[in-house]
């Protein structure tokens, strides 16, 4: 890390699982990790990823007292639709489980970050857009920050198999922009962010190749400023193609018409 000595920063703990799960991180280890991070005066806040079922008053107050500074839980909700979460992503918790966990966090003064996933498999581009716009509004009352992950094709997954056989295309960056614009318009009070990882590559979110860099840059600027005005001057000939693809995919049951 090349940070100046007194620059404040946020620590994110991602275990690819649940930091608050005792089976994964024994309570003593968790306490020790938080105590040590808490000793660093430059750490402003710690964000830890966890499934909702591990968010209990007991665990949160233990974590907060070990850390001694602002603690935030990050939940991979992916969508507010229980059907899409179950059928397309295969995560065994409900939107209601998330709401209950968020209420526990509120009572403990712990902030909540939510991850949503734009375009899991089996959804057409326009269904995926609608899903996330709805999900932002549904989750907004229960979170301080909503982070939109744009689906990437990871090797060895079902997404990969479908991608290889031409049955899956990662989301267009135009779709991501649409989701951020509408999400912010309907929920101006909430912070909505997105890090367009892998933008511009075939296996990542992409447009036509010519405008990907500008689109990704605009998404990054929006995430910092929350000002959707950054998208206003963004245009490319592929925008019309994207609009056509949104319409046509309704007739191909979600199979991509444009790669």
Is the C-alpha dihedral spanning 51, 56, 58, 64 positive or negative? positive
Identify which range of 33-41, 219-227, 234-242, 247-255 contacts Zn ion by CB under 5 A: 234-242
Q: How far apart are CA 71 and CA 109, in angstroms?
A: 9
Q: Are 166 and 256 in contact (CB under 8 A)?
A: yes
Q: How many residues bind Zn ion (CB under 5 A)?
A: 6
CB of 92 to Zn ion, least distance (A): 39
CB of 236 to Zn ion, least distance (A): 3
Q: How far apart are CA 181 and CA 175, in angstroms?
A: 10
Identify which range of 101-109, 154-162, 190-198, 238-246 contacts Zn ion by CB under 5 A: 238-246
CB of 199 to Zn ion, least distance (A): 12
Task: Give alpha helix (H) positions in 140-230.
Answer: 158-164, 173-186, 212-225
* 69: Cα separation from own chain's centroid: 24
Between 129 and 216, CB nearer to Zn ion: 216
* Binds Zn ion by CB under 5 A, chosen from 118, 139, 238, 246: 238
CB of 238 to Zn ion, least distance (A): 3
Q: Which of residues 177-216 bind Zn ion (CB under 5 A)?
A: 207-208, 210-211
Phi first, then psi: what are they for 27, rounded to 5°? -50, -40
Task: Give alpha helix (H) positions in 1-121.
Answer: 27-39, 57-67, 82-84, 95-107
Q: Is 173 in the site for Zn ion (CB under 5 A)?
A: no
Kindly list the residues in this chain that would bind Zn ion in the complex (CB under 5 A): 207-208, 210-211, 236, 238
């Amino acid at each position: 890390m090349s940070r100046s000595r007194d620059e404040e920063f946020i620590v994110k703990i991602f275990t690819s699982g649940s930091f608050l799960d005792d089976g994964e991180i024994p309570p003593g280890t968790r306490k020790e990790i938080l105590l040590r991070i808490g000793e660093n005066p430059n750490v402003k806040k710690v964000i830890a990823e966890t499934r909702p079922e591990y968010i209990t008053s007991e665990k949160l107050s233990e974590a907060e007292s070990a850390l001694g500074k602002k603690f935030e839980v990050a939940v991979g909700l992916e969508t507010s639709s229980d059907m899409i979460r179950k059928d397309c992503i295969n995560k065994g918790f409900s939107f209601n489980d998330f709401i209950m966990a968020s209420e526990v966090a509120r009572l403990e003064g712990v902030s909540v970050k939510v991850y949503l996933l734009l375009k899991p498999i089996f959804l057409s581009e326009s269904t995926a857009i609608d899903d996330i716009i709805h999900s932002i509004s549904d989750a907004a009352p229960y979170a301080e920050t909503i982070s939109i992950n744009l689906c990437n094709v990871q090797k060895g997954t079902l997404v990969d198999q479908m991608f290889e056989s031409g049955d899956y295309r990662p989301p267009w960056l135009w779709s991501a922009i649409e989701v951020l614009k509408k999400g912010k318009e309907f929920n101006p009070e909430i912070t909505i962010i997105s890090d367009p990882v892998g933008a511009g590559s075939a296996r990542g979110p992409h447009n036509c190749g010519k405008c990907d860099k500008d689109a990704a840059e605009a998404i990054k600027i929006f995430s910092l400023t929350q000002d959707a005005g950054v998208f206003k001057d963004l245009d490319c000939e592929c925008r019309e193609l994207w609009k056509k693809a949104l319409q046509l995919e309704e007739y191909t049951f979600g199979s991509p018409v444009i790669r």
